[in-house]
Amino acid sequence: MALSLTSVGYPVELKEGLIKYFNPGKCCNCQTLYLWDAGFQGLGLLEYSPKLALETMNTYLTNLEDREHPLILHGTPLPVQIYLLWEIYQRTLRKDILSSFYPPMKRFYRFMAGTDGISTFDKFGTGLLNTFDQFYNSGGWDDYPPQVYVHQNNMAEQISPVANTAHAIRAAKLMRLMAKELALEKDIAEYTHDVEYMEEALLRWAWDEKSGYFGYVFNKNKRLLRWRRKVNFNMGLDGVTPLFSDICSSSQVERMVSHLRNPQEMWTPLGISAVDRTAPYYRDDGYWTGRVWMPHQWFVWKALIGYGKLSFARKIAQTAIDLWRREVARTYHLSENFVIRTGRGAGMPQFPGLSCPVLNFYSAYYEPGMVTVGFDTVIHSRRYLPNKDRLELVLSAPFAQGRTGVVAVMRGNSKYLVSAGGRDYSIKATAGGAVMVCIPLSEKKTTMTVVRREIIGKK
């Protein structure tokens, strides 16, 4: 957190003036307004100051009167700022913040989804997005094998990776939740249309039943990009990004999660590998292939909580915390990424940016009063009473009814009684005090309470 707070760049000339901003790392060129890095830095800063998180997010939004620039875009075009605005709202529960930033964020979203008339991202008119005319990097994973192959063979204007469409779907769902909170019915209909449009395309053309991954799709004939015309070239992080969208069948979800869990495939002692290690194009000496990075651990972790896969989600978070602790203790470096072959940190030595999910992981399991839910769950109110070791929540899932995971951190590792939706659950907290439970949710608001069993009935 100290490094995140002090990695400030100045000056950057932006339109009519000079600004300061939080840069990804102390060694970064001051002029690098990397969009997705800043999104994750905002998520990390949220653990200390919602105000600073807002300022970081606002750097990439523009005034509604600015017809030339719907957003400030540099670097990988992933809409992390939309995730950030929703997390800020869920943490603060302040509708004045949401209503103030919703209009410029709506323009931001429309550009990312290719629906605003300026964006070229839906250039094929199919719902499968292509962002390569803005930046070479679709998901932040510089030397990710199929991405490298596409550029080396001049295919960038012919093909769609998966991540941009998958994240646009999730962004549309988050914007829809914001619109629901602000009672903007017309906007809800717009986002629902976008979700259905992109979802149909991704499921129809990108899923590869043989490998259990989604694949890059050629626009002309809708065939998948395959390594040497045999193996899905997208066995890795990009191939599982639809997990974040929550558009897949239960069997598709289980297949992708099995890849993430498998220690021969994507799971490693350091966390989730960027590329499946059984893929014939896997390398152990790349910048992303052969390494573990924190940002995509966060996306997977958050999605798994929504699916109720709480043990695996905690394993991802705790593995990241332990890995970070070991490397910092050994070198006092805050590494950019971690090499699977050696288990050591690498890249920029003082790098908050994309490494900030470690702060979120720690808070989610060790900070008393913290509540973490999946992407589709809305926290309407939260009241934590530390002296009574009691937590009171009101939750709903307006567009994704069913069972969902909740992680709530209490004072100790006692047994807790969780009551929600007319049902009671007896849960043993983890050593850090995290109470993990799956509860049913619907569009109707559900009250959930967590209280230590030993003090039930006491004044």
- Any idea what DSSP says for residue 223? P
Q: What is the pLDDT of residues 179-205, one digit of tens each?
A: 999 999 999 999 999 999 999 999 999
Q: What share of the chain is helix, strand, coil (3-state, %, to 5)?
A: 40, 20, 40
**Cβ-based neighbours of 243, under 8 Å, separated by 6 or more:** 253, 256, 257, 300, 303
Instruction: Show the tokens assigned to 319.
Output: 């593995």
Q: What is the pLDDT of residues 58-102, one digit of tens each?
A: 999 999 999 889 999 999 999 999 999 999 999 999 999 999 999
How many CB atoms neighbour CB 255 within 10 A?
17
- The confidence score (pLDDT) of residue 455 equals 58
Mean pLDDT of 301-316: 98
With tokens 């840069």, the residue in question is: 23
Q: What is the mean pLDDT of the chain?
A: 95
Where along the chain do its domains lie?
249-358, 371-455
Task: Tell me the C-alpha distance between 410 and 368, whole Å.
Answer: 5
Residue 306 C-beta-side C-alpha neighbours within 13 Å: 23
Query: DSSP per residue over 175-194, as a string?
Result: HHHHHHHTT-HHHHHHHHHH
Q: What is the pLDDT of residues 365-400, one digit of tens each?
A: 999 999 999 999 999 999 999 999 999 999 999 999
Could you tell me if 82 and 36 are in contact, meaning their C-beta atoms sit under 8 angstroms apart?
A: no
Smallest CA-to-CA distance from 24 within 356, 286, 261 is with 356
Could you tell me if 454 and 445 are in contact, meaning their C-beta atoms sit under 8 angstroms apart?
A: no
Task: Tell me the C-alpha distance between 21 and 11, whole Å.
Answer: 8
- Any idea what DSSP says for residue 206? I
**Cβ-based neighbours of 284, under 8 Å, separated by 6 or more:** 290, 339, 340, 341
3-state secondary structure of 245: helix
Could you tell me if 207 and 255 are in contact, meaning their C-beta atoms sit under 8 angstroms apart?
A: no
- The confidence score (pLDDT) of residue 31 equals 62
Task: Tell me the C-alpha distance between 340 and 324, whole Å.
Answer: 14
- The confidence score (pLDDT) of residue 30 equals 57
Task: Tell me the C-alpha distance between 23 and 352, whole Å.
Answer: 8
Among 19-28, 154-163, 295-304, the range scoring the smallest mean pLDDT is 19-28
Instruction: Give the CATH fold of the 371-455 domain.
Output: Immunoglobulin-like (2.60.40)
pTM of the predicted model, to two decimals?
Answer: 0.97
Task: Tell me the C-alpha distance between 179 and 301, whole Å.
Answer: 25
Among 17-26, 109-118, 150-159, 416-425, the range scoring the smallest mean pLDDT is 17-26
Smallest CA-to-CA distance from 94 within 63, 50, 57, 55 is with 50
pLDDT exceeds 50 at position 319: yes
Could you tell me if 82 and 105 are in contact, meaning their C-beta atoms sit under 8 angstroms apart?
A: yes
Residue 13 C-beta-side C-alpha neighbours within 13 Å: 1
- The confidence score (pLDDT) of residue 202 equals 98
Task: Tell me the C-alpha distance between 299 and 46, whole Å.
Answer: 16
Higher pLDDT, 218 or 23: 218
Could you tell me if 261 and 271 are in contact, meaning their C-beta atoms sit under 8 angstroms apart?
A: no
- The confidence score (pLDDT) of residue 459 equals 44
